[in-house]
Amino acid sequence: MDKDKLKEMGGRLANYVGGAMISGLAYIGDRLGLFKAMAGAGEITSEELAAKTNLNERYVREWLKAMAAAEICDYDPQTDRYVMGDEAALMLADEDGPMFLAGMFQIAIPHLHLTDKVMDTFRNGGGLKFSELGEEIIESIDRLHKSPFTHLLAQQWLPQVPGLKEKLDSGIKVLDVGCGLGRSTVALASAYPNSTIVGLEPDSTSFAGARKRSQEAGVGNTDYIQAPIMELLGNGNYDLVLALDCIHDMVDPIGGLKAIREALAEDGLFFWMEPIGSHNPMENRNPAGRLRQAISPYHCMSVSLAYGGAGLGTLIGEVGARDLAGQAGFSHFEKLPIEDPGQQFFAARP
């Protein structure tokens, strides 16, 4: 036995357990407003932070120590004060900013609460229906998507497809598959007022939330359909179809892709976003790969299998996407040269 490898493995396992506990405390910091209270406050004591948030000082003090150990904030032992840097504040406190990531912790902790149910699926098969996941998970997915859909989708991602922005500016018909709470649908409608954006969402809670979001945003160029993509009759009505982080979740991904192909106009475009990662687990030995692969049996794979679906899992990679597109009958498939730390993008044509 290699002693160095043994030591390295022990350290790695401790890092994972520590990360899980830090995630729980970061979830608390997000939900109780501790991160927001620290952002821009400069150096602060545990007493001051507790008073500012109306929380128990002893718990706040221990929370701060954990955040300092996790390198989320810094600590000065001479003054007994803590400070959150601008980078951490941008990612953990600026909800409307371009790099807000605290939603990750809200995704992690509610999913971990489902561990007993997931263990049952290990024993008996099947999965967890989306309706069983709970409203907080729906909210957390929406929060995690807020920054990229608000700041990147219309501003950076779509304009990198040659000629697409000009068409959207002029006015085309767009289908947003799996629109969730309508974050992407409203972002597109706001950016391209001459285009009509139709959000398609099978979940009733998300569907109602999406319609409410459009009403609150005051956009008049949106419409919503509550149905799975398989029930959408393809008449070649759409110039652009988007599927943002949802194909791998589908019960019947090939059938869904066929329905998307049939919904496209003859010269239409399918814009497809999938998490960065590979179908080969050895290529996922990195933070993004580990995160996405670990959530798969809790969510993406499990939700599909709950309905007797394909259960592709979260990470299908370019190889998987290309294979699915071919089976669905798309005549053209390419990976787009859009750089993003968390997502990869594909374009397909009928």
CA gap 110, 318 in Å, rounded? 29
Are 65 and 179 members of one domain? no
CA gap 98, 34 in Å, rounded? 20
Are 115 and 21 members of one domain? no
CA gap 73, 50 in Å, rounded? 16
- Please indicate, yes or no, if residue 88 is contained in any of the structural domains: yes
Are 117 and 90 members of one domain? no
Are 151 and 298 members of one domain? yes
Q: What is the pLDDT of residues 268-313, one digit of tens each?
A: 999 999 999 998 999 999 999 999 999 999 999 999 999 999 999 9
- Please indicate, yes or no, if residue 103 is contained in any of the structural domains: no
Are 304 and 272 members of one domain? yes
- Please indicate, yes or no, if residue 100 is contained in any of the structural domains: no
Last residue of a domain, one of 94, 121, 141: 94
Q: What is the pLDDT of residues 59-97, one digit of tens each?
A: 999 999 999 999 999 999 999 999 999 999 999 999 999
- Please indicate, yes or no, if residue 253 is contained in any of the structural domains: yes
Q: What is the pLDDT of residues 140-184, one digit of tens each?
A: 999 999 999 999 999 999 999 999 999 999 999 999 999 999 999
**What pTM was estimated for this model as a whole?**
0.92
**Which CATH number is 17's domain given?**
1.10.10.10
Order across the sheet with 332-335: list the strands: 222-225, 196-200, 173-177, 238-244, 264-275, 343-349, 332-335
| Domain range enclosing 299 | 110-349
- Please indicate, yes or no, if residue 101 is contained in any of the structural domains: no
CA gap 248, 262 in Å, rounded? 19
End-to-end Cα spacing for the chain: 55
Q: What is the pLDDT of residues 213-272, one digit of tens each?
A: 999 999 999 999 999 888 876 678 899 999 999 999 999 999 999 999 999 999 999 999
Question: Do residues 76 and 64 touch, judged by C-beta distance below 8 A?
Answer: no
CA gap 200, 185 in Å, rounded? 9
Amino acid at 312: L
The residue whose two tokens read 């998507």 is 145
DSSP for 34-47?
HHHHHTT--SB-HH
Residue 298: both structure tokens together:
């809790």
Question: Do residues 206 and 140 touch, judged by C-beta distance below 8 A?
Answer: no
Are 289 and 206 members of one domain? yes
Pairing of strands 74-76, 81-83: antiparallel
- Please indicate, yes or no, if residue 257 is contained in any of the structural domains: yes
Are 130 and 74 members of one domain? no
Task: Provide the number of structural domains found in the chain.
Answer: 2
Question: Do residues 90 and 84 touch, judged by C-beta distance below 8 A?
Answer: no
